[in-house]
Structure formats: structure tokens, C-alpha cells
Amino acid sequence: MNDSEQSFVSSIAILVERLRNLSQQDLMTGWKMFLGAGSVDADPNAWELANLNPKGQIAWERGRREIWLAQQVVMPIDLYGYPVTSLSCRLAFTWWAELAQVFVDGELVQEGDLFDHSPRVLLMSAVVPGTAVDVRLRLISPGHDIGALMRSRLIFESVEPTNPEPGWLADELAVMVKQVASFDPAQLGEVAGIIDRIDYDLLKVDSRRFIEHILQLKQQIKAILGCGGDLPTPPDGHPSEEGMSAGILGCGEDLPTPPDGHPCLDAHNREVPSLSMHRSSEGILHTIQLLGHAHLDMAWLWEVAETWEAAERTFRSSLSLQQLFPDLTFCHSTPALYEWMEIHQPEIFAGICQQVRAGKWEIVGGMWIEPDLNVISGESIARQIIYGQAYNRSRFGAHTQVAWLPDTFGFCWQLPQLLQQGGIDYFVTQKFLWNDTTQFPHQLFWWEAPDGSRVMSLMSSAIGEGIDPLKMIDYACKWQTDTGINESLYLFGIGDHGGGPTRDMLELADRWSQSDVFPDLEFTTAIKYLDKLASRADSQLLPVWRDELYLEFHRGCFTTHADQKRSNRLSEDLLYQAELWSSIACIVSHQDYPADLKLQIETAWKQTLFNQFHDIIPGTAIEPVYITANEGWADVERAMTQIISNALGEICDRISLPTPPIEGAIPIVIFNALNWQRTEVVSLSLPPTEWGLEWWRVYDAAGRALEVVCSRQTQSSTGKILFLADLPSVGCELFWLVPYFMMGMDPIVDPKPRWKDLKILGSGDFIFKNRFVKVEIDFHTGDIASIWDEINQREVLTSIGANHLEAFQDEGQYWDAWNIDPKYAEKQLPPSQLKSIEWIEAGEIRQSVRVVRELAGCEFTQDYILDAHSPIVRIKTSVDWQAEHVLIKANFPLNLTADRSTAETACGAIDRTTTPETAAEKAKWELPMHRWVDLTDNSGEYGVSILNDSKYGFDAGTDYVRLTLLRSSKWPDPIADRGYHEFTYAIYPHSGTWQAAQTVRKGLELNSPLQVVRVEGEGERGRVGDEGTGRSLRTNHSFLDLHAENLVLMAFKPSEALDRSWVLRCYECHGVEGEIELSGELDLGIDRAINILEERLLDPVDTLVKPWQIKSFGVST
């Protein structure tokens, strides 16, 4: 910036500040304070005068500490000569407090919190000089942070449009300058000359003439600045970057401690370009479309019960304001919340429905709640849409076309496809304003899923904002510069804890709509605005984003509150199996699907979907939220386990049992819920009452004896039978258990005792192997010292070894539960100490070594398990985790070089670089996954997959993968993750790519254990139903097979609309085409192609599934 430009900027800033001071008065130095519980009736004369900190704020201790502030505000005659008589007087606050109450003359007039933090409280509608107004504040600091009063400022406003107060003119001037892209020397000189001609002496003579004088000068300045060119960026130090942002709403106020990106900070306080918004003869050729909004977290720093109360207040307030301001449009998402309102507040719900019909209340979202979209499964996303859209259609007459997800912490790549199949064409978020490294490059773009599905996507303005003209201009300038579109959408209304628009916001909007220097303001709806954008001739030329939407922030949410992640993974599997097996049971029995059973499963799904809210499952809520969530998870587990048990029992009742191999043999049926044949070790626990038996045999349905190992750790402990079973796709097989005493002198019996007591203590070689791998455990550290691939004759690991548990200090982040310390790698804690190592099993079918290690003051017990049929080494882990602010990772250094990692995501997989070069790539230093992550060397000839049963975070380099196991944050839940954890992860070396190695299947097998049913008594096998219906089942059969190695069954369930019709949903998992060839005992046929809403598609049935495609079909028997 040259000298003349610097001089101009200084002149403008001085003028703006001087004009504001003529109608605004700072009150920060006049407060008296009392720390502790007080009363609005207390005498403040004995209170001490509050001191200001270096930021000019009144701050006090964290930990829900109470403070009272009192001030006697006497209405002045004038401010620096400008009379304020008859003007309205408001007191504008900004606080950082968990609870805030404002009392005026003893009456409670305003309440607020961390989110409703910047009200403008009316003290007098017409000032009478000399009038004293008693103002008191009761503030309670947050539990996690200091409290602060950052602003208290009197604002005197005129109600006469022709005679505005000086502060208003100051803001208009600031708005004007923000619209200018550049200046030329002639402009600078002219404007400087006008500023020099301001006659402040007129204030002493006639304030009205002074205002007229300023208005004339404003018009002259407007005419000059309005001639500027349409350039994309301002020069350094442009006034839009300078001190003119402290307007009537206090733009640019600093909070006491939170970092950039805090919701109470201006999300647009980053560099934004300015531009000339040229005016026609009628005005500026830019329109800001306004839409009222109130983001409402279903749980966060409050419990769910409080959310219902906040919603009631928010909705009642918005409906009332729509009566006073008929043009006001308001949008809200979350059918779960509307359902509660329908049941518990029918009057409010009826008002909402009326406004929906009038086009003033917009239903957005399309999902049951606003979920996390990093860790939940593809089927969970589908159900969010299915149940959300079903409610919207049944109650409000239509599906929403707008996915409204302003606060979710990142988005999986397959979301556009799922949205499209759910009738949703548009996607809206603002969360990438929170990025800590880069600025997201697009405001408006097409987001394309791996299969080619697209949704038009909008990065909206920040949520939780008021009507702040300078922020609105900043956003409009950035929008028009980035998109070339002269209509921007601006969301306003208090959010997070509800609130929505306020009367003051709407009155300010009305006043700014009359300003001749401000863009036109119109109320709109999201769908109207987005439809208009989509209808533009150039909409197809928008940039296309072909990737996940990764939030460069909140990376700890993949790991925090591991109990929620584990419960979610378990619930997703149980819900899948409950629908699958209950549907099959109905088909084989020729029965209608019971309505009460469908309702039970729907209730469980909705509980799961609710717990997937973006502040519950990420682990970022307060402790009581998780008490409630865990009750919900337990209800789901209990109900679905019972449904599965009933369904499997019904199926078993229809199996025709052959003659047992030995009289008295115990029949068991083993079920496989996955859509491929799997070979797996079956482990059956034996109750202690049967320990008088010395050994067992297992026979298959054909009477063939299987190899069996019976083992126990001690003579008095419960034992188990191990045998290898082949199970058909979505099917079952009968086996017989035969104890010793039933066998007599049968010649087929091997008389060798089969019990193995295998607890071997002490040091020595801890090496186990099968025909695939040889595994050596380091008896000094407990790490895996070596995995030798017997098939490929190569070492899998580097010399460092694997499963090296690493602990790091992880603290100092304001967003404690959300964020991992970016410098955690520099803060490694002392290594683990081996406490013991011992053999657990050493049989022909399974070998296992247990290591116990201490790390970060906690004891980790890990069983290394190798089964005879597989190269996969499982690591079953348990720990009583009590550390604070510690991060645990399991490191796997690998003997290969891979420039890309591949991780499972919802309904697919995603490649990411392990050699980051750009800032955005380097920002991805902690990544989300689902059941596996893989490194395959650059030749594609060899790779290693790391599988897991409940973990979601990892990082990877060219030759290592580190699985993130545990964190231990303290805010907002001071006991997050403390307690007992069980989880399993595994290392899977393989030839070729992860596709060739069927890593997807291996991950699912780890997460979907076989179901074993002991058939009690003789019963009536192969019976038909009470009316002679049903079918007799064979002892070994597949109910359902897709006959494609790259297709994964997502759901098999009853149709929502048609009786005795079923829905089959699957996805392609390898990035290549797959063909469905439906077969199985159920004799199903595909009737129709449908979307995830189960609406019939016009296209003919096509059984070809394209790469990464999700497909649903209606099927019947």
C-alpha cells in the first residue's frame, strides 16, 4: 500500500470511529462486580469496581463460577454534542458465559448462553435525559473455560429514516468502502477532500443540519467510489481488513481464549476479497437472500431432554415472529425433533404445518437427524434418509430436496450417491469455514461420488449469525467473486442451542433494506434459491469435486469415546442380521411379516440413528448424554439379539434332522449372515457343569467326523471346542456334538485324550505358524518381531517389529474431545513395559500367545491369535484405561513401499496419498476408515491390510500404518474413555491388491461373527405351519447368494409398502462391474429396480452393478 492509500485508509477509519462515537457509548469501565451467588435485589454500592484485562474485557475464573455486574446507566443529553433525546437506546452485549441473565430495573429481560451471546437489550424506546436505568448481569462461566464480558455499549438509534443517527451513517460508510475493489489516485484525493470538509461545528448549532451535511457528503463519496472497477481482490490493508469492522453489532470482537474457528468467532474474519457491486438506476445489482435458521444440537453441552425444551422455545418464537413479520422465512431439519413436537406439543406442530403449507417454514435435511458422516455405515446413511424422508412426506406432503448438514465434521465420498437415491439434489454445509490449514476452494460446485452421481453443493454463510451488515457484505463479496453470481444466501439466527431469528434482527434487516448503499434484501427458502442456481445456463460448468469432504479439524472424533464407536458397529451388524434372519424366517414359514416386529426394528433403527448425531457418536458431548446413549445402545442390542434368536429358532424348527451319527448327539446349527461362503474356526464354550466329560467329537450333517480341539486354560475353568467349519452364503449348516460317554467302543474314535491344558509360563520361543505364515513374538517387548510369509517367501515387517504400542501426550487443545494435538508426535511418552508373556493355545486349529504390557500407567492385555486356515493374525485387546490426555496408537512398520493407502469408507474405499505435497494433503495427518486400511506396494504385487472391529482413526506413511486405539480427553466429558475396553484388530498380509486378497470380506468377517444355535430336544423337525404352509429345509443350504465376489449385501428386509415383498440392497466394493446372479433356498426373483426410498424406477431391471454403485431391488418368492 502506498502513502496515499494508507492516508486514505486512516482517514476513513478515523471518520467511521468519530461518527460512531456521536451515537454510541462504551460502558465497560463502569461495572461494579460481585463474585459468588448473589441477588438482583442486592445493594451494589459495596461491590468493587470491575477491572479490565489487557483485552479490555471483564474476565473471571472457569468452572461455572458466578459473577454479578451492576451499573446505573444515566441517559445523557448528548454525545460529543449530538443530542440523543427521543432516540431509542439499546445496550449491546457480548459475553462468554454458560448462562447469562440481564435485569433492567429489577426485571429479567434477557437470557443467553455461550451461543446466544450478543443481544441488544432495549433500555428506552425514547430517551429522556437524566433518566437512570439500573442494569444488572448474572453470568456463570463455562465449566471448561474462563468467563468474560467482552462488550457493553450503549447504542442510540433514530426511528426517522430521513434523520439517521451518526453511527448508522458510519456503518453505511464502512459498508460502502467494503464494496470497492481498488482505488485510483483521483478517487483518493476526492474522498479525502470531502472528509476534510466535514463541519463538526454544525453540531453546536443544529444537529439536523449536521446530519444533512453528512448525508450529502455520503452521496458524494458513494458516487465517487461507485465508479471503481470490478477487480477480484483489494490491495493489502484495504479498509475491509482494517479497524472499521467494529460496527454497531461489534464485529471483530475477541473472545477471551478460544482459537480461530470457535462458533462465537466471526467465521468470516479471514481474508475475503471485495468487489464493486455495480448499481443500476434502481440500486446495487446484488441481492442478499435471507433465510432464518436455528441450528439445534440434539445433545452436546446439555442433555437430550433439554433439547426438546430448546426446540419448543425456538419454534414457538419463530412462529410468533412470522406473525409480526409475514415475509420471514425459516428453515429447520431433523424429523426426529418434529416427531417429538408432534407428540408432545401438537399446537406448535400444527402451527409449523400451517406455515409449511404457506411456504414460510421450510423442511430441510432429508435425514432423521444431522448425523456424523465419517464413522457410520452406508446402510445407516440410507436409513437416515429413508426414515427422514418418510416422515417428511407423511407429515409435510413432500420429500425435501436439500441435505442440510451445516455442522457435521466431514463427509464420506459416497454421500452424493446416497442423497441422489433418496430424492435429494442439493447439499449444504458451512463447516469448512472451520478448516485449520487451507480454505476450501469452492463456494458452489458439483460433488461427485465414485459412481458418478452428483449433487449441487453449497458452502453457505456461517450459522449462528445475526443481521450484521459488515459480515453480510464480506460474504456477498466473496460469494460474487468466487462464483460470478450476484445473489447470495445469508443464514441468520441464534444456533447450536436453538434460538433462531430475533425481533431485533428482523428490525435491523428492515432498516438495512432501506439503505441506498446496501444490497437488496429478500427473504427466500433454500430450495427456491438452489433451484434458481441449478437453472442457470452455466450451472453445468461449475467445478466438480471428486473426493471425500475432509474437515481439517476435529480429527480426534474418529477415536474419542470408543465405547460409542463399538456400540454403533455392533448395533449396525445386529440390525442387519435382525432384518435378514427375520425376513428369511417369514419366507420359509410362508407367514406375513409381523407389524409389531417391523415396528420393533424401526424403533431400534431410530434409536441407533439418533445416537449417530454429530455430537454424540463423535464423543463430544457431556457425560450424562452418554448415560442416556448407552441405555439406548443396550436397548437395541437386547431387542435385536432376541429377534435374531427367535428368527434363527424358527428357521431351525424347519430343518429336517437326519439320523444322528451317534444316538443322543447334540444338534447345533451355525449361521453365516454374509453373502459368500466362509471358512472359519468355530469356538463353542462349554458350561462348567459339563467338565466331567473328557473329550468331544464333532460331526457334520453327513456324519463325517471333523478335526476337533478341546481346550481349557485351567482344570477348573470353562473350556471350549474348536473346529473348522465351511458355511454357505447367507446360509446355515447342521453339526452334531458328541461327548465321550455316548461313543462307547466306536472304532472311529481316536482314543487319545483331546483336552489340552496350555498355560505355559516363562520365557522361551513364542513362535507359531501355519501353512501361510510364521509369527514370532518378541519376548522382551511383546511386539510382533516377525511375520514370515510362507507362500510368498518374504518378511512382512521391517526389523522394527509390529504392533508397537505408542503413547503420546495429547493436550493443550481448546476443543479437547474433538482435536488431537497437531504436534503429538513430538511428545512421545515412555515405551510400554512387558509384564508377562504366555501361551494360551497351541493346538492344531488355533495358536495363541498372551502378552501383558503396561503403558501410560495402564495394563494392556493382548492375545495374538493365529488360526490354521488363515494368514490373518488377530490381536484381541483388553485394557482398563485410566490415563488423562494420552493418545495410543498401534504401529505396524511394513516391508514395502506404497505411495497410496486405501481405507474402507461407507459403501466403498478411498485412496489417499502417503507422500503429501500440497497443504491440503499435509492437513490429512489423521484419517477416517471403517473396517480396514491397506498398504499395497507400488508394483501391486504385495500388500498388508490392517483390520479392526471398532476403530476408525489411523495415519499412514509409505511403509507403515498406525491404528489409533484410544484417547482420553477431559472436556466436555471429564471421564471420556475411562474404563474397561475390549477390541480386536488384525494384520493380514496378502499377495496382489486388496481387491484380489478380498480384504473387504476379511473385514466383514471380523465384524460379523457366526451365529450358533443349539437345537433343544427332538421337536417336530421339518414341520409345516399351523395352516399347512411353510417348507422343510435341508441341513446345509444357502438362502441367498449374489454370486459375485465384488458385491456386498447391505440389507435384506421387508418392503415398506408391499406385503410379502422384500428389498435387497447391495453395493459394488472393488471398483469394477459386478453381475448379480440371484440364487438360494428362498428361490427369490427380482421384480423391480428401486431407489433407497423403495420407489420404483422407470428403468428396466438391470442386474449389472457398476463400479462403486449402490443398488436396491424389489424381490419376491
Helix (H, G, I), strand (E, B) or coil at 135: strand
pLDDT of residue 207: 87
What is the tens place of the pLDDT at every residue in 709-732?
Answer: 887 655 555 678 999 999 999 999
Alpha helices, H only, 756-853: none
Structure confidence by residue, pLDDT tens digits, 12-42:
888 899 999 999 999 999 999 999 999 999 9
Task: Find out whether 842 and 850 touch, Cβ atoms under 8 Å.
Answer: no
**Topology given in CATH for the domain delimited by 666-755:** Immunoglobulin-like (2.60.40)
- The per-residue b/e assignment along 777-792, b for 16 or more CB within 10 angstroms, e otherwise, is bbbebbbbbbbbbeeb
Amino acid at 330: F
Q: Which amino acid is at 534?
A: A
- Sheet of 1110-1116, strands arranged across: 1047-1054, 1062-1068, 1110-1116, 1085-1090
Here the cell at position 295 is: 441450528
On whether the CB atoms of residues 15 and 173 are closer than 8 A, the answer is yes
Fold match between domain 666-755 and domain 1040-1117: yes
Its CATH class, for the domain covering 767-1009, is mainly beta
Place of cell 473348522: 724
Tell me: cis bond preceding 972? Omega within 30 of 0 counts: yes
Rounded CA separation 729/724 (Å): 16
- Roughly how many angstroms between the first and final C-alpha of the chain, as a whole number? 77
User: Which one is the CATH code of 3-245: 1.20.1250.20, 3.40.50.2300, 3.40.50.1000, 2.60.120.260?
Assistant: 2.60.120.260
Cα dist. 712→112, 152, 683, 719, 1037 in Å? 62, 73, 12, 4, 32
The CATH homologous superfamily for domain 287-549 is Glycoside hydrolase 38, N terminal domain (3.20.110.10)
* Domain coordinates in residue numbering, the chain: 3-245, 287-549, 557-654, 666-755, 767-1009, 1040-1117
User: Cell digits for 436?
Assistant: 485449520
CATH of domain 1040-1117: 2.60.40.2220
Question: How far apart, in whole angstroms, are the C-alpha atoms of residue 698 and residue 740?
Answer: 11
Cα–Cα distance, 898 to 939 (Å, whole number): 9
Residue 722's pLDDT is what? 95
Give the β-pairing of 454-459 and 426-429.
Answer: parallel
Q: For the domain with range 557-654, which CATH number is right: 3.30.360.10, 1.10.10.410, 1.20.1270.50, 1.10.940.10?
A: 1.20.1270.50
Closest by Cα among 128, 98, 234, 879 to 563: 879
Q: In the chain, which stretches have pLDDT less than 50?
A: 227-283, 689-693, 745-763, 1019-1029
What pLDDT does residue 284 have? 53
Which one, of 265, 451, 300, 452, lies nearest residue 372 by Cα? 300
Cell 471518520 maps to which residue?
15
